[in-house]
Amino acid sequence: MVRLTKIYTRTGDGGRTRLGDMSETSKTDARVEAYGSVDEANASIGLARVGLDETSDLDRLLARIQNDLFDLGADLCVPDRGKDLGYEPLRITQNQVDRLETDIDTHNARLEPLDSFILPAGSELSARLHVARTITRRAERRTITLAESGEPVSGAVIKYLNRLSDLLFVLARIANDEGRADVKWVPGKDR
């Protein structure tokens, strides 16, 4: 279990930080950018939860996802470089990805198919979920950039972020009266 007794350490004042394996890197490192974007996605989901009944299925689903995103951040901050760390680092599993796919299928079955792109609008909850979706997409892009740079990144991490943004899109539609209050894009409407 993590125990934090002091919040500031001053060790980052020079623009450096330590990863979970205790290696030092710049705060602008692609890995720090990736898990920092995951943290932003998590915070935006927390904001989306404001006002939800704690016993609602949606709140429980989003709470589980927030916990998963902490797992995912832990996965990203401890690169698998093949050396023994003296402990088993936390990794995202295919089971977590599969669970998101089940969630997508379950919730999407409640919606009519789209006949147009939709704007990130409608109800306040829908708009907040769309913000969380776009931040999650950025986290996915940052993570792919990290992987493409040759750094080790679990394939399950990238899959999870991809599925999560899809689920947030579906949930945003659910929050718009199960898609009935979606705001459709009208190409060239105001030219």
- pLDDT at position 1 is 60
Residue 119 confidence (pLDDT) = 96
DSSP state string for 42-76: HHHHHHHHTTS-TTSHHHHHHHHHHHHHHHHHHHH
Of the candidates 14, 24, 27, 40, the one whose C-alpha atom is nearest the C-alpha of residue 137 is 40
Q: Report the C-alpha gap between 168 and 152 in whole angstroms.
A: 27
Instruction: Please check whether residue 59 is in contact with residue 50, taking contact to mean a CB–CB distance below 8 angstroms.
Output: no
Per-residue pLDDT at 84: 86
Beta carbons within 10 angstroms of residue 61's beta carbon: 18
Low-confidence stretches of the chain (pLDDT < 70) are: 1-4, 6
**pTM for the structure as a whole:** 0.92
The pLDDT value given to residue 10: 76
